[in-house]
Amino acid sequence: MRKGFNAEFKAKVALEAIKEEKTIAELSSKYEVHRTQITDWRKGALGGVKETFKGKREKDNKENERLVDELYRQIGQLKVENEWLKKKAALFED
């Protein structure tokens, strides 16, 4: 049966792993969590810290990329609809 860990527990263990006052093996024994899991939590915590310090420009760039992707999708859809309407209009002109 799998154990479930709440976010507070994961953060606590990850912070101890980041501090490196004890080895991963010692933390694994202390908290009864597999070493791989502690390593993953540590990597996740460090990744979250990087996100916290990202500048506004990077966040704006991601939002702009999403907007551009959506606009290109809409343009493609409108092109298809326009071609379809041209074909249907040509049938009625003849």
Answer whether 38's CB lies under 8 Å from 17's CB. Answer: yes
Residuewise pLDDT in 10s, the chain (94 residues): 777 889 999 999 999 999 999 999 999 999 999 999 999 999 999 988 877 777 777 778 888 999 999 999 999 999 999 999 999 998 887 6
With 0-12 / 13-18 / 19 or more C-beta atoms within 10 angstroms meaning exposed / middle / buried, residue 41 is buried
Q: Indicate the pTM of the whole model.
A: 0.55
pLDDT given at position 74: 97
Domain layout of the chain by residue ranges: 1-53, 55-93
- CA angle, residues 44, 11, 25, in degrees to nearest 5: 80
Task: Name which of 43, 42, 54 is nearest 14 in CA terms.
Answer: 42
> What is the C-alpha separation between 17 and 33, in angstroms, rounded?
12
Spell 65-75 as b/e; 16+ CB within 10 A means b: eeeeeeeeeee
pLDDT given at position 72: 97
pLDDT given at position 48: 85
